[in-house]
Amino acid sequence: MSNEESEDPENPSKSDQTVIRLVSKYHTHLFRYILTLVPNDSDANDILQETCVDLVRRAEEYDVNKEFLPWAYRFAYIEVLNFRKRQGRSKLIFDNDVLELLASDPEESEDPGINTQIDALEECIDSLPPQDRELVEVRYFQPEAFKDILPDLGMSRRTVFRQLSRIRQVLLDCINTRLARDSDS
């Protein structure tokens, strides 16, 4: 089959159809993987779009006898690297060594229970009082900003970390409650 035929949106090749079906099926998995490598949803969505385009463009290279996700994760990883090159030296971008470590074994994140746990964590963070939620978001999602705002919190460093410890316990209890509730359903 010629390249012109496989790139015709009116008549996608069988490999194009297979990859499109698999991209649709594993869209959420790809997004969550990318989100482990970049600091925010917006960037992850942009990278996911680029990854999906690349996957479909290179559909002819996909071996249907092999697992789709490892092949797709490799494309996503390359797109993350390209994104990092475009972004330059933003403080919120992971160091290359950290990025490689995070990306080294994406199959570990394919534990079916992990998605449930992540969903529970997100729900529990959303249910925190605004001040606690903001403290968690700044501490864990913007560590550079946390160092800068620590003096502005009006609490000693020790008090802030005690507060975070209390919040972590609240989150743990909340997650366990939600997971127990979900397992009873």
Q: Please, what CATH class does the domain formed by 3-110 belong to?
A: mainly alpha
Higher local confidence (pLDDT), 170 or 99: 170
Instruction: In whole angstroms, give the CA distance from residue 117 to residue 75.
Output: 26
Supply the pTM of this predicted model: 0.46
Can 3-110 and 112-184 be said to share one CATH topology? Answer: no
Predicted confidence (pLDDT) per residue in 4-30, tens digit: 444 555 666 777 888 899 999 999 889
What residue ranges do the domains of the chain occupy? 3-110, 112-184
Buried b / exposed e along 84-106 (16+ C-beta atoms within 10 A) = beeeeeeeebbeeeebeebbeeb
Average pLDDT, integer, range 78-95: 70
For residue 8, the model assigns a pLDDT of: 55
Q: Is the pLDDT of residue 98 over 60?
A: no
Higher local confidence (pLDDT), 16 or 109: 16
Tell me how far apart the terminal alpha carbons of the chain are, to the nearest angstrom: 50
Predicted confidence (pLDDT) per residue in 139-160, tens digit: 777 666 677 777 777 888 888 8
Amino acid at 166: R
The CATH number corresponding to 112-184 among 1.25.40, 1.10.10, 3.40.50, 2.70.98 equals: 1.10.10
The most distant pair of C-alpha atoms in the chain lies apart, rounded to whole Å, by 68
Q: Is the pLDDT of residue 76 over 50?
A: yes
